[in-house]
Amino acid sequence: MFMEDLILTIAIPTYNRADLLGKALAAVHAQIGNVADRVEVVISNNASTDHTKQIIDQYGTLFRHFRYFEHPTNTGPDANIAQAFRLAKGRYAWVLSDDDILLPNTLENIVRVLERQEIGLMFLTPIWYNHHIEDARPNNEPFAYQVYDNPTAYLEQVGYWITFISGIITNKSLVQDLDVLYKFQNTNLIQIGWTLPAIFRGKPNVKVSSDVILGRAEASVNYKFFKVHSTNFNLVMNGLVAAGHVPVQARDIVNRKLITELFPQYIAPGKQFINGENPYLILLEAYWRYPAFWLTLVPIFFKRLYVPALTRIKSGGKALMLKLFGKVSGSHAYSQAELTKGNLRHVGIGTYLPSKSFLQNPQCITLGRRFHSLDGLVVNALTQHNAQSFTPSVVIGDDVSFGANCHIACINQVTIGNGVVLGGSVYITDHDRDESPEALQQPPAHRRLLSRGPVVLHDNVLVEHGACILPGVTVGRNAIIRANSVVREDVAPFAIVGAEAAREGTRQLHS
């Protein structure tokens, strides 16, 4: 039963994290003032043995709408999360983990969006702190969000972050009567039973692109990570598909994101596997039908298995093994290149991909007719970076030739016209990492990616060895970029820019 005046319930399941719970409640209380009549706070305590009750006594009287529930015995995380969601009386329910913090100047904006129109789901972008909350440096950017009418396009944007419980606000009124709402106990993913169906209930969905949640990055993994995100996730998804609450396409979208973007971070050489898991066998059983498993994860497992062994082989035997390994790798790489071609958005006749190449998210890449590249080609069409989502587009025209070790990085759009020639080691990117003072306090890997605009190379451009073309640049037709140049500004048609032009001024070719 909903209370008419409540638009949002912030429901916090907790267990033995009293100090973190206090910080979470303090962050909510600091900005609830103007929406206190519209927001309730609910705590579901899973029989904590620390001083959680003292925290409740301290904060409970500060909120206009506040309720507290305590289990007599510990029921496990899923049952406690389900109870938190069950207790919500607001139209929208936000299950917030007790170790995640609401960033300043966000709650009122969230409520206003929820009041403006009825939606199915709202995704909230997180940033992370590693040791102490005070170390985090949020971007002080205006509250920003996008509305999606197409549920599958929305899920492409959110990806595997649909499993991040603190980042999801669900329209409970749309899903409260589902027969599978609390079905998926003991999966560590019970919330998927209400978050994913809400996307497909005929309402628009919202993605907040500005930072909202401060999450604890170093939180210990005390569950079986690979089993939860593969076996258990597909158990939940198959149940939702069978019940008719989500389409099969939804399962495949998230699985593809898990395979290509999440799992590679956790199986990289040097990563230690914990909790007695064998990731290869777990992921093989869950994903052997997906080509992305063989193209993305199997080569990483192969490196983990054989590269350490090679370092222990004496020099003569090592040379022989490396030679044999090179032959095997070459055969595998050729077949991998052919499979990659089959996954491209479009590929023209006569196109050749080298055996040593890597095209990330080939469904976002178009290659024209008779494209040719030497070894070392890398095209990163990034659809996800931390909590950011992108819709990249790389389009390469007809009769284009790349030298060795060329690299294109794209989150927005890179367009290369017909007849373009790139020398070796050319780098083209349409984005930078955030360089604001706040961002520079963060590790580079945690900084946001920002595009200053598409990169366009018009027909018959020549880019010589080692040149770098930066975001927002347009290079006019028949222009020449000299070796080792760094191009930050637009280049006129028929112009020559680079080391020589820097001494003499940009000069025009006869058109």
Cβ–Cβ under 8 Å, residues 121 and 164? no
Confidence tier at 356 by pLDDT (50, 70, 90): confident
Q: Are strands 66-70 and 39-45 parallel, antiparallel or unpaired?
A: parallel
Mean pLDDT of the 395-407 span = 93
pLDDT of 482 over the 60 cut = yes
Mean pLDDT of the 245-250 span = 95
Lowest mean pLDDT among 187-201, 321-335, 346-360: 321-335
Confidence tier at 385 by pLDDT (50, 70, 90): confident
Lowest mean pLDDT among 172-181, 186-195, 273-282, 502-511: 502-511
Please state, for a pLDDT cut of 90, what percent of the chain lies above it: 68
Q: What's the rounded Cα separation, in Å, for the pair 188 and 80?
A: 11
Mean pLDDT of the 337-348 span = 70
pLDDT of 417 over the 50 cut = yes
Mean pLDDT of the 301-328 span = 59
pLDDT, position 218: 55
Confidence tier at 510 by pLDDT (50, 70, 90): very low
Q: Could you give the domains of the chain?
A: 8-219 (3.90.550.10), 344-508 (2.160.10.10)
Lowest mean pLDDT among 67-81, 131-145, 388-402: 131-145
Mean pLDDT of the 235-255 span = 95
Confidence tier at 330 by pLDDT (50, 70, 90): very low
Lowest mean pLDDT among 98-112, 341-355, 403-417, 455-469: 341-355
Mean residue pLDDT across the chain:
88
Q: What's the rounded Cα separation, in Å, for the pair 45 and 166?
A: 17
**Based on the number of CB atoms within 10 Å of its own CB, is 419 exposed (0-12), middle (13-18) or buried (19 or more)?**
middle
Q: What's the rounded Cα separation, in Å, for the pair 144 and 380?
A: 26
Mean pLDDT of the 94-122 span = 95
pLDDT, position 370: 87
Confidence tier at 501 by pLDDT (50, 70, 90): very low
**Angle at the Cα of 49 from the Cα atoms of 45 and 51, rounded to 5 degrees:** 80
Mean pLDDT of the 243-255 span = 95
Q: Phi-psi bin for 96: left (phi > 0), alpha (psi -120 to 50), beta?
A: beta
pLDDT, position 446: 86
Question: b/e string for 225-256 if b means 16 or more Cβ within 10 A?
Answer: bbbbbbebbbbbbebbbeeebbeeebbebbbb
Q: What's the rounded Cα separation, in Å, for the pair 217 and 238?
A: 30
pLDDT of 59 over the 60 cut = yes
pLDDT, position 350: 78
pLDDT, position 320: 54
pLDDT of 461 over the 50 cut = yes
pLDDT, position 333: 44
Model confidence pLDDT, tens digit, residues 60-100: 999 999 999 999 999 999 999 999 999 999 999 999 999 99
β-strand partners of 124: 208
Please state, for a pLDDT cut of 70, what percent of the chain lies above it: 87
Q: What DSSP assignment string belongs to 203-265? A: S-EEEEEEEEEEEETT----S-HHIIIIIIHHHHHHHHHHTTSS-HHHHHHHHHHIIIIIHHH
pLDDT, position 508: 43
Helix ranges (DSSP H) in 243-378: 248-257, 263-267, 279-287, 291-292, 298-311, 315-343
pLDDT, position 328: 45
Confidence tier at 317 by pLDDT (50, 70, 90): low
pTM as predicted: 0.65
Q: What's the rounded Cα separation, in Å, for the pair 149 and 171?
A: 15
- CA neighbours within 13 Å on the CB side: how many for 242? 8
pLDDT, position 340: 59
pLDDT, position 6: 95
Cβ–Cβ under 8 Å, residues 283 and 304? no
- The residue type found at 491 is V
pLDDT, position 316: 53
Model confidence pLDDT, tens digit, residues 423-447: 999 999 999 999 888 888 888 888 9
